[in-house]
């Protein structure tokens, strides 16, 4: 039954990807920009006060959240009723005002991790400010520093419990001039561990949205590790990453650039990497945490990563010239092949099924009568 459910989930992911043939299929937010299309958790609504002050409202509360569709929702603590909290996006020099309301039943505060702000705005309850008590609102106001990059925000009272239950989000500072490199896609990957669930942008596989890419596209990946205790070695199958920045500090490029197949990101750290989508062949790859307990199935057994039912696994799908009908047929056949009564000589992990199905589907693209949607 578990294999049947997983294959149906994988089929849904790939069918969703190919039926739009490269147009965004995602639950996370995609924003078209002149330089790149942005993907990540939904962004906060920004309004203007006093002429030029960019204003955001954050509310912490308890609510139910579903990490994966085959599981019951669980109680989490978060900002604005989402996990992770809304992405805050500003530019250097922006005047920012953030109204934080605490609807929890205990005191809290918000720390702007990695940003150099006035001491009174640093958000450490009982040290730099009074605790924000239940039902109270505290106003954070500061100018955005001149260092672009990915940062984060999180609770800073009873940190271990509050952050572990979900009180965190991404804080992005874009270059004032719109620079920072030319990319086709710009993706936020926020890593977290809540209630034993290893999450990317608030979900676990197979409910993590697939990346839809085309051959030779350049993708910037902005990794943010808000996990309270654990680092994550993020491994990209079939591709190499080049480090661009670490904690908002630009890293050497050219011959001095750090090129890796696996990127270690510590708790509280942010790392920007670029990835050229030049994997050999076409089809689906995976980008995942290589601490294997972070990609295990719900039974705690070590499964083939391509079949891991849960955890930090992102499918990366090349959409160039996909034949929708062939993909549907190939994956329907793959699903049927693992039903009860299937050939017992069939590989138990099922990964050759997926690989061959993708290869067959893409190989039959030439001369196909079905025209993908654009």
User: What is the SS3 string spanning the chain?
Assistant: CHHHHHHHHHHHHHHHHHHHCCCCCCCCEEEECCCCEEEECCECCCEEECCCEEEEEEEEEEEEECCCCCCCCEEEEEECCECCEEEEEECCCCEEEEEEEECCCCCECEEEECCCCCHHHCCCECCCECCECCCCEEEEEEECCCCCEEEEEEECCCHHHHHHCCCEEEEEECCCCCCCCCCCEEEEEEEEEECCEEEECCECCCCCCCEEECCCCEEEEEEEECCCCCCEEEEECCCCEEEEEECCEECCCHHHCCEECEEEECCCCEEEEEEECCCCCCCEEEEEECCHHHCCCCCCCCCCHHHCCCCCEEEEEECCCCCHHHHHHHHHHHHHHCCCCCCCCCCCCCHHHHHHHHHHHHHCCCCCCCCCCC
More confident residue, 331 or 186: 186
pLDDT at site 166:
97
Do the domain assignments include residue 202?
yes
53, 81: one domain? yes
Question: 369 lies in a domain?
Answer: no
In a shared domain, residues 105 and 214 = no
Confidence of residue 182 (pLDDT cuts 50, 70, 90): confident
In a domain, 77, yes or no: yes
Residue 129: what pLDDT?
96
pLDDT of residue 74: 94
In a domain, 336, yes or no: no
pLDDT score of 117 more than 70: yes
Looking at the chain, the whole-number percentage of residues with pLDDT higher than 90 is 51
The least confident of 12-16, 34-38, 122-126 is 12-16
Q: What is the reported pLDDT for 68?
A: 85
Lowest mean pLDDT among 60-74, 136-150, 296-310: 296-310
Report pLDDT for 3. 42
Last residue of a domain, one of 173, 199, 223: 173
- Compute the average pLDDT of residues 282-301: 76
**pLDDT of 34 strictly over 60:** no
Q: In the chain, how many domains are there?
A: 2
Q: In this structure, what CATH number is given to the domain that contains residue 115?
A: 2.60.40.420
pLDDT of 227 reads 94
Same domain, 274 and 306: yes
Give me the domain span that covers residue 89: 40-173
- Residue 372 placed within a domain: no
Q: Which of the four pLDDT bands, split at 50, 70 and 90, describes residue 249?
A: confident
Average pLDDT, the chain: 79
pLDDT of residue 150: 94
How does residue 177 score in pLDDT terms, banded at 50, 70 and 90?
Answer: confident
Mean pLDDT of 70-83: 94
- Out of 318, 335, 364, pick the residue that ends a domain: 318
Do residues 26 and 65 both lie within one domain?
no
pLDDT band at 242 (very low <50, low <70, confident <90, very high): very high
Judge whether residue 340 has pLDDT over 60: no
pLDDT over threshold 90, residue 142: yes
Q: Are both 258 and 291 inside the same structural domain?
A: yes
Asked if residue 7 and residue 30 are part of one domain, the reply reads yes
Domain boundary among 288, 318, 348: 318
| Residues 111, 57 share a domain | yes
pLDDT at residue 78 greater than cutoff 70: yes
Q: Say if residue 213 is in the same domain as residue 279.
A: yes
Both 14 and 133 in a single domain? Answer: no
153 and 237 belong to one structural domain: no
Better-scored residue on pLDDT, 233 or 245: 233
């Amino acid at each position: 039954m578990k294999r049947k459910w997983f294959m149906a989930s994988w089929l849904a992911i790939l069918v969703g990807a190919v039926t739009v043939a490269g147009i965004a299929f995602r639950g996370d937010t995609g924003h078209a920009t002149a330089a790149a299309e942005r993907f990540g958790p939904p962004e906060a609504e920004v309004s203007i006060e006093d002429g030029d002050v960019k204003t955001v409202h954050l509310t912490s509360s308890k609510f139910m959240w579903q990490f994966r569709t085959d599981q019951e929702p669980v109680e989490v603590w978060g900002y604005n009723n989402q996990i992770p909290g809304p992405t805050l996006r500003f530019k250097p020099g922006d005047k920012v005002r953030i109204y934080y309301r605490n609807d929890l039943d205990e005191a809290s505060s918000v720390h702007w991790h990695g940003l150099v702000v006035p001491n009174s705005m640093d958000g450490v309850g009982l040290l730099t400010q009074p605790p924000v008590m239940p039902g109270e609102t505290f106003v954070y106001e500061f100018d955005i520093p001149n260092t672009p990059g990915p940062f984060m925000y999180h609770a800073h009272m009873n940190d271990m419990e509050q952050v572990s239950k979900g009180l965190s989000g991404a804080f992005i500072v874009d270059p004032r001039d719109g620079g920072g490199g030319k990319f086709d896609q710009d993706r936020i990957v926020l890593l977290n561990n809540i209630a034993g669930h290893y999450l990317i942008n608030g979900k676990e596989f197979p409910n993590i949205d697939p990346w839809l890419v085309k051959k030779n596209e350049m993708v910037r990946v902005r990794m943010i590790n808000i996990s309270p205790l654990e680092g994550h070695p993020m491994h990209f199958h079939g591709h190499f990453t080049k480090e661009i920045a670490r904690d908002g500090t630009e890293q050497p490029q050219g011959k001095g650039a750090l090129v890796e197949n696996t990127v270690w990101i510590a708790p509280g750290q942010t790392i920007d990497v670029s990835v050229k989508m030049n994997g050999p062949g076409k089809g689906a790859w995976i980008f995942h945490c290589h601490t294997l307990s972070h990609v295990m199935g719900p039974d705690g057994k070590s499964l083939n990563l391509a079949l891991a039912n849960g955890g930090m696994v992102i499918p990366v799908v090349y959409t160039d010239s996909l034949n929708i009908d062939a993909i549907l047929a190939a994956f329907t056949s793959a699903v049927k092949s693992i039903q009860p009564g299937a050939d017992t000589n069939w590989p138990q992990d099922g990964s050759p099924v997926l690989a061959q199905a993708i290869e067959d589907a893409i190989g039959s693209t030439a001369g196909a009568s079905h025209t993908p949607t654009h």
